[in-house]
Structure 1
């Protein structure tokens, strides 16, 4: 079912266009080699990914700081694996990871194709909870920055999705209206429910195929956006 009168398309970045899981794994591989961390990367990621998800939820709710997120997700992962390391090493790993993460630039399947297609008819934008200094590097290094008219980060807005003020900031910055805008993202609470409650059209990207049941338009592949746009 096509959405009518859409002129502005707002994307989340991580897990929506930018292949966070793949790029993150590559960054950790580099960091562990540099810091001589003798852990199986697959076993580490199996523990780290849900812990990282938990810390991002805490960060979205202002329950932890950016610094506490960067340290805590690593410390808790190492503790769970009973891998002993010093706080100084954890902080070095945290810093290296942020430095190396944007150097990997894999995108989710169909990202460039769908951006090429949508750019012909719509104004494209990014709304992201990611860190200001990292997100622009990710987009530049993966050659997608020029597709977007505006990029709104949570650090710039002073609040994180799903807070309505970040959507308000993005709408004002873009010159869009709620009625002619759609938000596309992978996080049901932050991207979809938050944007919908603000008054935007929404499309939920179930990028890892979990088939989450919800009331919103839902896709599993980016190319399916053409069913709506």
Structure 2
């Protein structure tokens, strides 16, 4: 297949969101005496469960963005049996701490810039728009990527087809000429392939039936570079 444009997902594809999130929550745990009788891993686990559910509801337009931001910490505190009225200060501190831990995933920076020498590239991401814009700025992605698409600014989240349609228009090529590199099975693999994009799935997932949904599956960026001959 001759690709004409390469789109990347951002969180947990190029940037290590999971590690930054965990480190930010550890900072929260250390900072607030509120958590003195709560284990760090318990906080992280409960937050993950609550946050994942809230993002799912948000993607289905069942909660607003403001409700998501409030609920994920208010409900975490409630689940832990702590003072849920402190959700706002905990949430604000977390966002500052989270930003201090942003970094590239292993091999992602080299692959991104190697691919950039041969192909036009873009970024297509879910996430809060102001946070993702800060990441674009921090990692110089505005200057390197030809298209930077944040689904929240489009008005719907991946895997909604409108996001992929908008991103295709921004790329200026036909949808079957795009390769999308992403880590999420539902948002990236299913969303992209159902719209007609080619998808390279970055995953450690060993489920062969899911692998068949993607055009290419890799766990090491060297394999992606080899696929694209860069």
Scaled by the length of structure 2, what TM-score is found? 0.88
**1:139 lines up with 2:139 in the alignment:** no
Partner of 2:179: 182
**1:149 lines up with 2:135 in the alignment:** no
Shift of 1:133: 0.3
Partner of 1:113: 110
Shift of 1:143: 4.4
Q: Confirm or deny: 8 A CA contact 1:115 1:147 kept in the other structure.
A: no
5 Å matches for 1:2-81? 4-38=1-35, 39-81=38-80
Note closer, same or farther for the CA distance 1:27–1:143 as it changes in structure 2 (3 Å cut): farther
Note closer, same or farther for the CA distance 1:222–1:37 as it changes in structure 2 (3 Å cut): farther
CA distance in 1, matches of 2:196, 2:7: 13
CA distance in 2, matches of 1:224, 1:53: 30
The alignment partner of 1:37 has SS state of helix
Q: Confirm or deny: 8 A CA contact 1:102 1:141 kept in the other structure.
A: no
Partner of 1:211: 206
Count of aligned pairs: 222
CA distance in 2, matches of 1:98, 1:220: 29
RMSD of aligned Cα (Å) = 1.9
Q: Confirm or deny: 8 A CA contact 2:129 2:152 kept in the other structure.
A: yes
Post-superposition CA distance 1:128-187 (Å, at most 9, x none): 111110002123224444331111111211111111111111111221221211111111
Structure 2: gaps (5+ residues): none
Scaled by the length of structure 1, what TM-score is found? 0.88
The alignment partner of 2:207 has SS state of coil
